[in-house]
Structure 1
């Protein structure tokens, strides 16, 4: 049904703005690289995927295997993103360039951005009739080895030289994540109004 690449505008700035040549060039360079068992993988954010789609890649999305990684709590994810944007430390191997601050406006901006991205991915999945393997952050953190096996089964490969005992993870969240979390404690929907900074974020409790 969808053999040709569909030009999508999921970044909200027009299809032309969804074209990002550095991303496309990097993808072109890496496209010929494969793992030892012959698998090519690409980790993409929604904007990267749309750039590549509009550039002519993923012409038959239904022939690909998609793994959708997500955070169960969007506020926790937004807090981590807000901190990383300030420190420029995207993983434990990188050095923080500055100390992060608690910034409510920045946090709200990331909540809205992440909600748009989540809705955009669902649009992609529905448009192309895709059934991705969905893996939550808590699940992968609790059982990383099991998560890798699930991904391998979904892709249809047998992991080679897979030694779960050699796998370790490091949690980056700290006190400032909790400070951010406390800014957005769930409140009844009746307490919200257009003047509230959280209006439009969809973050409320109906309980």
Structure 2
């Protein structure tokens, strides 16, 4: 039998369905209330929401995040993008200097028994197109339940940019490689989820993640998404154009 976890992190890169997955996990009622609590630009907003003087007292900030992100069974969930992880462990290292440089030990000191879900997307071109469009428009998701967004909608119309897509494809590759290197170096065996599998079977993938976390879906409970699909014909057109121009 799998030992239940205290906390888990969804480790991802942008436009892999991470907000969708957080909503699905949150809807179970047993997998915490996962959000991007540790994205540094958003920490002042979370601190204000939690009525903290600031986010500078990191030990207090983490305790507030735990209180906000736990369900009644004590399980906490959160999202980490590559780059955020380094910031979190650096700040925890200042709080717990005896564990500085030992990433997993720091996380477990702060969050208890911790597991990792690694979310990635096989179709990196589609991911890059989605990322570019979100950056241009500021529309990162449709539908929310209190999650703080990365940006406000800019009102800017999306425009095709081959160089921008190419740069994001490279960045995605670098970030995926960095996640995999970190897992290997820390002896972490994450539960890997493909966006394509999630998209095809929202409830099934969510149930399998619960199993990895040692959790059971309450009887009669329904797994429900809180975000709607954003990809449309424009994404498809950009993908086809990029492929044609790259041949």
Q: Give the alignment's TM-score, normalised by structure 2.
A: 0.60
- Counterpart of 1:141 in structure 2 is 199
Unaligned stretches of 5+ residues in structure 1: 1-18, 188-197, 199-203
> Within the alignment, does 1:32 sit opposite 2:34 as a pair?
no
Unaligned stretches of 5+ residues in structure 2: 1-38, 45-54, 94-102, 144-151
Q: How many residues align?
A: 170
What whole-Å deviation, never above 9, does each CA across 1:183-203 have from its counterpart, x for those lacking one? 43289xxxxxxxxxx8xxxxx
Moved over 4 A (4+): 19-24, 166-169
Checking the alignment, whether the CA contact within 8 Å between 1:37 and 1:157 is kept in structure 2 is no
In 1, the alpha carbon distance for the partners of 2:181 and 2:201 equals 29
- Counterpart of 1:81 in structure 2 is 131
In 2, the alpha carbon distance for the partners of 1:21 and 1:82 equals 20
In 2, the alpha carbon distance for the partners of 1:95 and 1:53 equals 31
- Counterpart of 1:6 in structure 2 is none
In 2, the alpha carbon distance for the partners of 1:154 and 1:48 equals 24
- Counterpart of 1:97 in structure 2 is 155
Q: Which has the larger radius of gyration?
A: 1
Instruction: State which drifts further: 20-29 or 59-68.
Output: 20-29
Checking the alignment, whether the CA contact within 8 Å between 2:198 and 2:205 is kept in structure 1 is yes
Of the two structures, which has the highest relative contact order with CA contacts closer than 8 Å and spacing of 6 or more?
A: 2
Whose strand proportion is higher, 1 or 2? 2
Change beyond 3 A, Cα 1:21–1:100: closer
Whose helix proportion is higher, 1 or 2? 2
> Within the alignment, does 1:42 sit opposite 2:78 as a pair?
yes
- Of residues 221, 232, 236, the one that matches 1:162 is 221
- Alpha-carbon RMSD: 2.9
In 2, the alpha carbon distance for the partners of 1:65 and 1:50 equals 17
- Of residues 35, 56, 59, the one that matches 2:92 is 56
In 2, the alpha carbon distance for the partners of 1:91 and 1:179 equals 20
Checking the alignment, whether the CA contact within 8 Å between 2:141 and 2:227 is kept in structure 1 is no
Change beyond 3 A, Cα 1:31–1:142: same
